């Protein structure tokens, strides 16, 4: 979970149905489920070997050159894996060291090497009212639900989630010390239960202001906007915390490809709908309202071409016509996070110690000007 937000939720990765798409992944054992067989190909952008020294690179290549799981079946989807994952040794029972299909209970993330074992477990050990992730459901809107899972309280579940994620993420390192992390699991809801489609993790407390550590949309559910939804959700939590946040750095090219459209559309939408004196708008004002870190706002404004530098002063060129054109190129896409459907209380921190609290930020330009006028008026009265 401590890997940077470099998978970018997999939104730009390809998902290619095979000729067997639509056949039941589990055969006749579970006839009531029409399982899809989904084959995936790794995105080349996931290569993050930059910065590794020669010895580390050799070790990385040695560990990842051979996959130990060919496919993973999660719910009604069977997906080709992309990378090696350091699964517990006791799970691999054959001499080849290879698992053809790893069967995963989508509700508990328990691992099985035989479909019959999975079905037996679900029939005997998993009543209908437990067919959801552990932890607290903090968001429900239509058929989408989000659960917050504490890595310390649900260690096995979160470790298994990391093992699955490693099959689709090529990171330099991926730690399985899940205790310091919270995991936010996005589910599609139907009458059979809550089916995970992706997740992101974040540190319970980050001294550098990160609000997201690792993010993944499962290949079977890419191209649905869930990666962007997870990113938006991380900022909604930051708003609830009254903090600014940013994905874990350094962010990869693929991560930037996912974040930049979100930052751009969010900032343009804010500028179009802002109220008050437009001439008094500052980067810090945008940061306070969106919870996007100032450095990320500056980067996005530069990419949008509306941050200008004239006579030694930066200003935002936000004419109405320009913003309308940018809004068409950078729309706020569905599915959106509805803040009214979020039921979550943040951890309480001392804002005097927390430099990422919006209350610790410099006042806006407008407020500074008002305070300056008050000060001038006071000195004149004396």
Active site residues: 248
Q: Phi and psi for 15 in degrees, rounded to 5?
A: -120, 115
For residue 184, the cross-strand partners are: 148, 200
Q: Phi and psi for 81 in degrees, rounded to 5?
A: -85, 165
Would you say 220 and 234 are in contact if contact means Cβ atoms under 8 Å apart? no
Would you say 272 and 323 are in contact if contact means Cβ atoms under 8 Å apart? yes
Q: Are strands 69-74 and 36-40 parallel, antiparallel or unpaired?
A: unpaired
Three-state SS string over 189-253 comes to EECCEEEEEEEEEEECCCCCCEEECEEEECHHHCCCCHHHHHHHHHHHHHHHHCECEEECCCCCH
Q: Which residues of 258-279 are buried (b: 16+ CB within 10 A; e: fewer)?
A: bbbbbbbbbbbbbbeeeeeeee
Residue 298, SS3 per DSSP: helix
């Amino acid at each position: 979970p401590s890997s940077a937000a470099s998978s970018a939720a997999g939104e730009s990765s390809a998902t290619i149905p095979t000729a067997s798409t639509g056949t039941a992944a589990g055969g006749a054992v579970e006839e009531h489920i029409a399982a899809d067989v989904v084959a995936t190909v790794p995105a080349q952008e996931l290569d993050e070997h930059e910065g590794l020294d020669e010895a580390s690179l050799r070790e990385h290549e040695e560990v990842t050159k051979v996959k130990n799981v060919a496919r993973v079946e999660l719910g009604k989807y069977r997906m080709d894996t992309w990378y090696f994952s350091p699964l517990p040794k006791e799970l691999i029972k054959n001499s080849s060291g290879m698992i053809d299909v790893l069967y995963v209970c989508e509700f508990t993330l328990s691992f099985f090497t035989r479909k019959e074992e999975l079905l037996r477990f679900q029939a005997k050990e998993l009543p209908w009212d437990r067919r959801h992730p552990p932890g607290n459901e903090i968001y429900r809107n239509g058929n989408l639900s989000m659960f917050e899972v504490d890595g310390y309280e649900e260690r096995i579940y979160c470790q298994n989630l990391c093992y699955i994620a490693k099959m689709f993420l090529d990171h330099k390192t991926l730690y399985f010390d899940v205790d310091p992390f919270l995991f936010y699991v996005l589910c599609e809801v139907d009458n059979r239960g809550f089916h995970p489609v992706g997740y992101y993790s974040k540190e319970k407390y980050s001294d550098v202001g990160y609000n997201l550590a690792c993010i993944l949309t499962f290949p079977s559910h890419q191209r649905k906007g869930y990666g962007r939804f997870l990113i938006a959700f991380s900022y909604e939590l930051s708003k609830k915390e009254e903090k600014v946040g940013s994905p874990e750095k350094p962010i990869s090219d693929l991560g930037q490809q996912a974040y930049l459209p979100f930052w751009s559309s969010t900032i343009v939408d804010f500028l179009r709908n802002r109220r008050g004196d437009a001439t008094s708008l500052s980067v810090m004002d945008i940061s306070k309202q969106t919870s996007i870190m100032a450095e990320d706002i500056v980067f996005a404004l530069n990419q949008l071409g509306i941050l200008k530098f004239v006579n030694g002063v930066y200003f935002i060129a936000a004419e109405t016509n320009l913003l309308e054109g940018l809004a068409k190129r950078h729309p706020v896409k569905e599915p959106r996070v509805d803040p009214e459907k979020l039921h979550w209380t943040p951890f309480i921190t001392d804002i005097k110690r927390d430099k990422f609290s919006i209350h610790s930020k410099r006042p806006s330009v407008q407020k500074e000007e008002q305070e300056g006028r008050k000060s001038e008026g006071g000195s004149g009265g004396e």
